[in-house]
Each structure stands twice: as C-alpha cells, then as structure tokens.
C-alpha cells in the first residue's frame, strides 16, 4: 500500500512536501529512483475489479424463477411432441438472456472508462531535464509542468504557478474554474476548496503551474471514486424485484396445482400417463408464456418514446424504475440551470438596473424598478458595461447551434451584457485599442487593461475584479454624467449584499486616467486614485422548462433534492427561483462540512427533510443516495462528472448528462439525457409511469386466461371427464393471444391523469387486491364460458374435437372483449377513444384471422386436433365475450372513484412516511388500482 496515502498534503508547506517525498526541486527524480518507486507504488493507472467472465455472466441470466418456469414449459412441450412451440419458448428465453447479458456487460464497463481517463502524457522534471513521458509512468515525487489545455495526470501539490485556473467540475461539481494558489491550508479544508492542490483528470483552463506528484493511480482522489464505484451495488429495480417475487409465487402455485391434478387423477384410478398428461396440461395452462416477451417489448417501446423526449435508456428496466421514482437528486449546474453565466443586475452611479435575457444569446433589455430604460441614455451604465467589454479576454461567436463562448464563463457574461446595450466588441476595440494588460492574478484579485481613447487622444485604464480589490483602489465614483463624486462605500456594500442574497457573483469595475504616450501598465499606477464605475451581478440562471418540470414532479408526489458542489448561497438562491419549496417557504439546506459530521443513524431523517446540499464530496453523494433508499425511496440521481459515478451506480436509476457528462458518468448511468435538461427527466418519469401502467394492464389481461384454463382442466380431472382443452391448444391460446392481442397494450398512450397520481408504494405487489379480484372474476367467467360450451357441444352430439374447438374459441373471443376493458383499469374505451391505439384493431383482426386458420384449415386441424365450427358456436362465444365486457365495465364504473386518488395540484407532495405506516400497522396508500 502507498505509504503516502491519505496524507493531508494541502496542510503541508512546500518544503515539508519535498522533504516527505525526498526530492529536490531543481533536479526532480533520477531515472533509477523513479523506477524504484514505480516498483513500490505501481503504475499510475486505476486497477479494475475482476468481475464475472462473459460466459458466467451469460449463464447467470437464466437464474430466475420465471426462466425456470419457461424452461420447464419448453421441456414439457417438447415431451408432448410440440417441437415448434418448444422452439418458440426456448427462443424467448434465449432472447431475454441475451438482452440481460448485454445490459449488464455494458454497465460493468464504468470502471474501465475510469481507467481510460489516465491515458495521457505528462511533462516532468527528471535528472534535471524536462521530459515528456506517459502519465502511467508518473510516481510520487515527480515534478510536473502544467499549462492551459492540459489534463492533470495525477494528484499534485502545487508549488509554483502563474494565473493558474483549473476546471474541477468533473470532480467537485464546482460550476466555474478554480483559481489556484500556493501555501498551506488548514487540515479541515474540503476538497472543493483545496486551492493548493490539482487533482487527477481535472482540466487546466488558464495559466501555468508546477506541481509535485503526491498520489498516483488508485491512491488519487479519482482512484478513491473508482473504489466507491466498485463497492456500489447494482440494485434491483421495482419491476425486476416484483417480477422475481411474482414468478417465484407463481412457480410454487403451478407446481402445487399440477401435483393436485396428478393426485386427483390417481385417486380416481386413471392411468398414470393420463394423470401425468393432465398435470402437464394444467402446468402449461398456468404459465404466462407471453409475459417475458411483453415485458421486454413494453420496455423497448418506452425506450423509443423516451428517446424522442431526449432521454436515452441504457438499461431496459430503468424505463419502469423512472415510473416508480419518489425522489430525484439533481445536480444544479447545467441541469437545473443553463450552465451559462448571465448578468442580471447592474449598479452604476447609485442606480440599480435589471437585465433581461439569459444565456449566451445577446438579447434582452434593461429596466429600472420594472420600467424599461434605454442604456444609451445612461452614460454611467454604458461606461460600466464598456469596462466589462474591454477588460475582457473572452470572445463570442455565432455557431451552428447558437452563440458560442470562447473563454471564461464570467467574462462571457460581461460580453453579453454589453452586447445587449448595443456595444459591439470589434467597434469598441477599434475606438479604444488595447495597449497593455495586467492579467488576473489570485494574489491581486483583479484584471487591468490600458487603452488609447482615439477620439479624445487620452489613455485610460479599466479594472475588473473582486469588490474588495477594486474599492481599495478607488477614492471617487462617477455620477450619472461621468463626473467625479465622493464614493459612498456604505451604499455600494448595501447593493452588494442585495445581489449576493440572490445568489449572484458580483464583480466591481473602475476606471483611471493615465498620462499620454503610455506603452506599458504598472501595478503602482493603479494602486490608488481610481474612479468606481459600478457593479455587475451574474448568476447561472435556471432553465425555465426546469421550473415547470419541478412543478409537475411536485404535483406527481416526487421530491426534488439539489445536490451540488457549488456554494451554499448560490444553491439556495437557485432553489428558491426554481420552486423547490412553495413561495416563502423555508428551504432546508446543508453544506458538505456539516454533512460530514452527521452520524449514519441520523442521516436518513436529515436527507428526507433537506432540499439543498452544497459543497458535497463524492462519497457524500453516495451516502445521501443510500440514506434516501434506507427510507424506502426509489431514487433517481443525476450527474455529469467523475465524482458523480458512484452515486449514479448506487441509485435506483442513474441519469447522466449527454452533453457535458464524462464518459465515466455515462457508463455508470442507466439513462443519458441528450439535452442535459431536468425537464427531460420529468418527461421520462411520465413515460416510465405509462410503461408500468401498460405492464400492469398486460398482466391483468393475461392472468385470467391462465386461471381459466387451469380451472377448466382441474374441474375436468376432478369430474372424471375428458379434458376440454389439450396442452397443444393451451399453447396456441397463450402464444397467439399474447402476440396479437396482449402486445397491443404496450402501445397504449399515457392516461391524462398519470402525473397527478402519487408515486406507487415500492412495497406494493404487482397484483393488488383490486386487480386480483378482477383477475379471479374474469378467470371464473372464462372458465364458465369455456366449460359450458364444451358440455353444450357434447350434449348436442358433436365430436369431442369440435367441443374442444368451441372451448378454445371461447377463450380467444373472451380475451378479445376483455382486452377492450384492459386499455384502462378505470376508464371506458369510449373515454379513451376507439382509435387512439393504432395497433389495437389490426391486432384484433390478426387474431381473428389466425383463429379462423386454427378452426378451418385442415393442416391446423391435424396439428391441434381442432375441427370446423358453425355460426351457432360463433354466436354463443361472441355473446359470452360481450357479457364479460359488460360485467367488467360495470365493475369499473362502481370502483372508479376508489381506483385512483389524484393528488390535488395545489397540495404539497409528501414522501412516504414509513415510520407512520409501521405505526399504523397498515400498508401505505398510494396509487391503488
């Protein structure tokens, strides 16, 4: 193990770090010493956890109760010489296994993606010479050179730098590049504020620096995240868990019935082979062969629908999981906000202005107290904007997909605000050419540019920077007519407090006059005597569509948690703007420092009632997801950086950003947003609820047939009469109806109130009491109809083949009429629209044609022991089917008000209160159907 691991390098001085690693700053490591250290510490690569081999991974897909039932069904079907049916069932099993294998294999590539992050080169000092080596060859003690555009190759303690800025958003979630400094920091400094450190995989955006390698490979912060990913478990989705439980229960139920059937035949002294065939027929009748296909196709249709709404699903069960979601943990930057810094407020000459518009689109006007103003009539305002335009190194260009920024986001916001006032950068640069500049340095906290005003033949300097740095250089301010006036420090600070209270980042601006014929700018010349121009307050504005999406989620009973690496004040301000709570309501907010001191036992309760988490570390995101899951929540977690990957994988559904997301986050996630927009998550939740709805509709439609067929066979065995339907005919009913009829339910549109229902109780079984009652009711109706027709035919002297054909026809027609009821569990087909499902009527027509072939084609008569029937049999089966439709329609009418309990739009959604549920000793009441 690395002896340096977990040292607080940021707490050390540069000299202490060099002494600890036994290296000279002027020489670096010798080649021989570097080789020794590589033997001790290993290569600068992330090791991957050895997982299952592809073969074992594939075979594990068959380890499921439902798969066992299907395999048994196929074997029994083959035993009965129905090789075609057996081949179909085997094909279904193999297809599902392949889909599961591909999904799991892709999911486990997340750690491999982390390893690829380190496949870069590094400039180092070895044997007194600067060399470029593969980053994998770095060892603790190496001295690394950084410059703009470099990816940091290892964890570094910074020792020298010039204007160094590093984008650490992938690791910490910080929305803007971090300004780096040298010098020691307190040991308690959190990761996002360790300005004297540079971490592996982060990106240098500006300046240069020299750093001492202190951690490599698995011992870097990136390596720690790698271990968190490896330790995070892939949780079962509500669908897979319920299907597994349902399949296991069904398996034992089928085996029990088959045994009872065999014993009943044996008790009635039937031949053993006849009793065995009857038991086999009952088992085949009770197995819903079409269920796995229906689940896969329904989820696949959900995937296609979500793709149209900017959500790409990487794992099929994630479709349904979204519909079960009770909490969405969302990043702020780029997801809830536009990831485009925008000036929203300006203070100049004692006047406050609001700036409309957002993002990098230079559109929007200026107003004062809500009244529009023309900027060109306000000289002080224009001068403040001009300072932000000229004292600026960013550039704005029109791209194929709108305006694109080249440079720092903060400087980009200043360009946009100036453009909104009609100040063109090229024109102003020509009228005031830049002569010299003092770049921003963290030690001074300002940038200054020297310009020649050609119209007045004068030289002036513009400054922008932190409020403290600019104000200490000013002894006056400019009034509305650009005349010098005493500087009112108190008024400036009052305005700053008003801006920062809204989560704005505030920059101050100043101007100074210099003697003519200047060729350079010196620090001493701008240390004092400047005139204060004003303030510009900017913020990464919320997405308007995210505000609407959050309101929709609140209506749907889904809680939103903002988990960000940004500052607490900014996060809370954005949370208020996007409506995480009602107007005027209190937002529970917590910083990473305070979160670190929360004991595990208290964390679930705190996670439940807190809406905003700021400055959080990667492992804290993981803890929060686990804490919410401990409260029984189904958690969706969004993220885009390497730091988000462990939580993305631990969440019930991880949601990665497609535009700004790292490859690591995409590999760890179950869903990727192509537009990085929170509104797309809300749309995906809506689609997910629709998918689960359609799955329940299919299950509620198919099970009555299995029950009816099983009861028909069971009654025949106990009555000692011939079987009304044969095993081959059972397979015909189950497979054809599932394909032609049942799968049309997968194309049902979402019902209009789907986002006004409470989230389903994660513990609620697939078959609720209400659905179970309806299943049994329809099963009994089908049993009565089929058995009645079978006996009717025999009593009228018809052959047993014709009687069995009539019974089969009863199941087909009965299921067809019941399909119309199952399009909605509460509403009538008229309220849905007769033609709102484009596949419904083609499916019914296809089923009737297939059934006609079963009845009238000689080849089908030979294969399935069927026989032609007349119009009387058809009339009886249609009448029975219509009766089933009317009975279920009446049952829906009676139970309609109890079936759904929409959440009033005005009400505050509440999360599941599992403690209260246990105290009452009852089941949580949510979306009961």
Q: Provide CB contacts within 8 A for 692, sequence distance 6+.
A: 239, 320, 323, 324, 760
Give the Cβ contact number of residue 602 at 10 Å. Answer: 10
How many angstroms separate the CA atoms of 200 and 114, rounded?
A: 11
Nearest CA among 132, 181, 131 for reference residue 161: 181
Cβ distance 741 to 819 under 8 Å?
yes
Give the Cβ contact number of residue 251 at 10 Å. Answer: 17
What six digits make up the tokens of 870?
Answer: 């007349």
How many angstroms separate the CA atoms of 734 and 232, rounded?
A: 40
Cβ distance 635 to 325 under 8 Å?
yes
How many angstroms separate the CA atoms of 580 and 558, rounded?
A: 11
Q: What angle do CA 364, 450, 445 make, to 5 degrees?
A: 75
How many angstroms separate the CA atoms of 569 and 614, rounded?
A: 9
Concatenating the DSSP letter of every residue in 181-219 gives --S---TT--GGG-TTEE-TT-EEEEEEEEEEEEE-GGG
How many angstroms separate the CA atoms of 143 and 28, rounded?
A: 6
For the chain, state the CA radius of gyration. Answer: 35
Give the Cβ contact number of residue 692 at 10 Å. Answer: 26
Q: Provide CB contacts within 8 A for 637, sequence distance 6+.
A: 328, 329, 563, 621, 625, 644, 647, 648, 650, 651, 653, 654, 655
How many angstroms separate the CA atoms of 774 and 769, rounded?
A: 9
**Side-chain-facing half-sphere of 756: CA atoms under 13 Å:** 11
Integer CA distances (angstroms), 138 to 115, 152, 170, in order: 15, 12, 22
- For β-strands 327-330 and 635-639, DSSP reports them as parallel
What six digits make up the tokens of 208?
Answer: 């240069």
How many angstroms separate the CA atoms of 206 and 416, rounded?
A: 21
Tell me the β-bridge partners of 450.
436, 461
How many angstroms separate the CA atoms of 299 and 696, rounded?
A: 12
How many angstroms separate the CA atoms of 104 and 283, rounded?
A: 32
Cβ distance 828 to 834 under 8 Å?
no
Per-residue b/e over 501-530, b at no fewer than 16 CB within 10 Å? ebbbbbbbbbbbebeeebeebeeebbeeeb
- Helices 678-719 and 544-555: crossing angle, nearest 10°? 30
Tell me the β-bridge partners of 458.
453
Q: Provide CB contacts within 8 A for 405, sequence distance 6+.
A: 340, 360, 394, 395, 396, 412, 415
How many angstroms separate the CA atoms of 821 and 701, rounded?
A: 9
The catalytic residue among 155, 167, 331, 644 is 331
In 747-839, alpha helices (H):
769-795, 800-822, 829-832
- For β-strands 446-453 and 484-485, DSSP reports them as unpaired
Catalytic-residue membership of 331: yes
Integer CA distances (angstroms), 814 to 369, 449, 600, 738, in order: 69, 83, 55, 13
Residues belonging to the active site: 331
């Amino acid at each position: 193990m690395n002896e340096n691991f977990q040292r607080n390098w940021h707490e050390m001085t540069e000299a202490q770090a060099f002494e600890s690693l036994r290296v000279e700053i002027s020489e670096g490591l010798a080649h021989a010493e570097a080789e020794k250290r590589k033997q001790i510490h290993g290569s600068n690569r992330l090791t991957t956890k050895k997982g299952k081999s592809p073969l074992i991974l594939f075979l594990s897909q068959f380890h499921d109760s439902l798969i066992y039932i299907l395999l048994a069904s196929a074997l029994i079907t083959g035993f009965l010489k129905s090789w075609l049916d057996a081949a179909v069932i085997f094909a279904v099993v193999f297809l599902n296994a392949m889909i599961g294998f591909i999904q799991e294999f892709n999911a486990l590539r997340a750690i491999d993606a982390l390893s690829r992050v380190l496949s870069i080169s590094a400039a180092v000092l070895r044997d007194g010479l600067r060399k470029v080596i593969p980053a994998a060859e770095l060892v603790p003690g190496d001295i690394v050179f950084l410059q703009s555009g470099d990816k940091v190759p290892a964890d570094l303690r910074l020792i020298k730098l010039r204007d160094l800025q590093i984008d650490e958003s992938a690791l910490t979630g910080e929305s803007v590049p971090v300004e780096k400094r040298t010098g020691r920091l307190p040991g308690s400094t959190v990761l996002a504020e360790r300005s004297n450190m540079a971490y592996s995989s982060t990106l240098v955006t500006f300046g240069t620096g020299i750093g001492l390698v202190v951690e490599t490979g698995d011992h870097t912060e990136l390596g720690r995240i790698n271990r968190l990913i490896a330790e995070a478990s892939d949780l079962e989705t509500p669908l897979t868990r319920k299907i597994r439980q349902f399949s296991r229960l069904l398996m034992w139920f089928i085996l029990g019935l088959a045994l009872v059937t065999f014993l009943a035949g044996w008790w009635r002294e039937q031949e053993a082979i006849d009793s065995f065939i009857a038991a086999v027929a009952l088992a085949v009748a009770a197995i819903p062969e079409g269920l796995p296909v229906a689940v896969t196709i329904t989820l696949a249709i959900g995937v296609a629908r979500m793709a149209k709404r900017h959500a790409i699903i990487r794992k099929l069960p994630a479709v349904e999981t979204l519909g079960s979601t009770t909490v969405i943990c969302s990043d702020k930057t780029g997801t809830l906000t536009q990831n485009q810094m925008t000036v929203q407020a300006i203070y100049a000459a004692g006047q406050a202005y609001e700036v409309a518009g957002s993002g990098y689109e230079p559109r929007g006007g200026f107003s004062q107290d809500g009244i529009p103003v023309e900027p060109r009539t306000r000289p002080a305002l224009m001068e403040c904007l001009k300072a932000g335009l000229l004292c600026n190194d960013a550039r704005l260009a029109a791209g194929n997909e709108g305006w694109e920024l080249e440079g720092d986001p903060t400087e980009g916001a200043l360009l946009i605000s100036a453009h909104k006032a009609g100040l063109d950068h090229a024109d102003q640069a020509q009228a005031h050419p830049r002569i010299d500049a003092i770049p921003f340095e963290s030690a001074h906290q300002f940038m200054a540019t020297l310009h020649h005003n050609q119209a007045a033949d004068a030289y002036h300097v513009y400054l922008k920077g932190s409020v403290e740095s600019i104000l200490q250089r000013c002894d006056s301010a400019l009034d509305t007519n650009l005349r010098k006036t005493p500087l009112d420090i108190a008024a400036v600070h009052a305005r700053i407090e008003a801006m920062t209270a809204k989560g704005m980042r505030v920059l101050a601006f100043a101007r100074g006059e210099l003697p003519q014929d200047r060729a350079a700018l010196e620090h001493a010349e701008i240390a004092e005597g400047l005139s204060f121009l004003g303030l510009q307050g900017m913020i990464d504005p919320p997405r308007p569509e995210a505000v609407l999406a959050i309101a929709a989620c609140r209506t749907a009973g889904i809680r939103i948690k903002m988990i960000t690496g940004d500052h607490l004040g900014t996060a809370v301000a954005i949370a208020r703007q996007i409506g995480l709570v009602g107007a005027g309501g209190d937002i529970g907010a917590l910083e990473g420092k305070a979160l670190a001191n929360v004991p595990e036992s208290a964390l679930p309760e705190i996670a439940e009632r807190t809406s905003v988490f700021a400055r959080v570390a990667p492992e804290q995101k993981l803890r929060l997801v686990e804490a919410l899951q401990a409260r029984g929540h189904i958690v969706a977690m969004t993220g885009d950086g390497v730091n988000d990957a462990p939580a993305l994988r631990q969440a019930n559904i991880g949601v990665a950003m497609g535009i700004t997301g790292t490859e690591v986050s995409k590999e760890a996630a179950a869903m990727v947003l192509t537009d990085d927009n929170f509104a797309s998550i809300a749309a995906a939740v809506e689609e997910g609820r629709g998918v689960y709805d359609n799955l329940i509709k299919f299950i509620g439609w198919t099970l009555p047939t299995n029950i009816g067929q099983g009861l028909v066979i069971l009654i025949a065995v106990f009555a000692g009469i011939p079987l009304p339907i044969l095993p081959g005919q059972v397979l015909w009913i189950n497979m054809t109806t599932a394909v032609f009829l049942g799968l049309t339910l997968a194309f049902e549109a979402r019902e209009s109130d789907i986002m006004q229902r409470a989230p389903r109780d994660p513990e609620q079984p697939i078959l609720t009491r209400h659905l179970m009652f309806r299943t049994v009711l329809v099963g009994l109706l089908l049993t009565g109809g089929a058995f009645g027709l079978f006996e009717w035919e025999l009593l009228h002297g018809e052959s047993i083949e014709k009687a069995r054909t009539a019974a089969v026809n009863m199941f087909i027609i009965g299921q067809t009429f019941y399909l119309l009821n199952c399009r909605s569990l509460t509403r009538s087909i008229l309220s849905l629209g007769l033609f709102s499902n484009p596949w419904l009527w083609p499916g019914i027509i296809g089923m009737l044609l297939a059934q006609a072939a079963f009845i009238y084609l000689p080849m089908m008569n030979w294969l399935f022991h069927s026989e032609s029937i007349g119009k009387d049999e058809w009339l009886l089966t249609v009448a029975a089917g219509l009766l089933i439709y009317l009975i279920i329609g009446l049952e829906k009418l009676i139970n309609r008000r109890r079936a759904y309990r929409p959440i009033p739009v005005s009400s505050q959604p509440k999360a599941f209160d599992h403690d209260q549920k246990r105290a009452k000793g009852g089941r949580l009441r949510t979306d009961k159907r």
